[in-house]
């Protein structure tokens, strides 16, 4: 768990970075945890990013094409 926290950006920080960069869309990929009890729903991931970013947010899934 320490490795995950130290090497990944949490959802609110993703929103901050995206807003500061002026991008129009964020695609979340390689997010953890993705399965099992306590794993956040897509809506929870989006809500975390949404705190600081008002553009389009996509929770990436295998084989997703945009």
Domain boundary assignment for the chain: 2-59
Measured from the Cβ of residue 14, the count of other Cβ atoms closer than 10 Å reads: 21
**Share above pLDDT 90 across residues of the chain, in percent, rounded to a whole number:** 61
pLDDT top residue among 53 and 7: 53
**Share above pLDDT 70 across residues of the chain, in percent, rounded to a whole number:** 95
Of the pLDDT bands very low, low, confident and very high (cuts 50, 70, 90), residue 26 is: very high
Model pLDDT, residue 34:
67
What is the mean pLDDT of the segment spanning 8-31?
94
Look up tokens 């929870």; give the residue: 44
pTM listed for this prediction: 0.84
Model pLDDT, residue 37:
77
């Amino acid at each position: 768990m320490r490795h995950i926290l130290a090497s990944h950006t949490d959802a609110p920080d993703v929103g901050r970075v995206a807003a500061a960069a002026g991008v129009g869309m964020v695609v979340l990929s390689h997010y953890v945890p993705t399965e099992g009890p306590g794993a956040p729903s897509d809506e929870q991931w989006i809500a975390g990013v949404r705190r600081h970013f008002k553009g389009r947010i996509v929770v990436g899934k295998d084989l997703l094409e945009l």
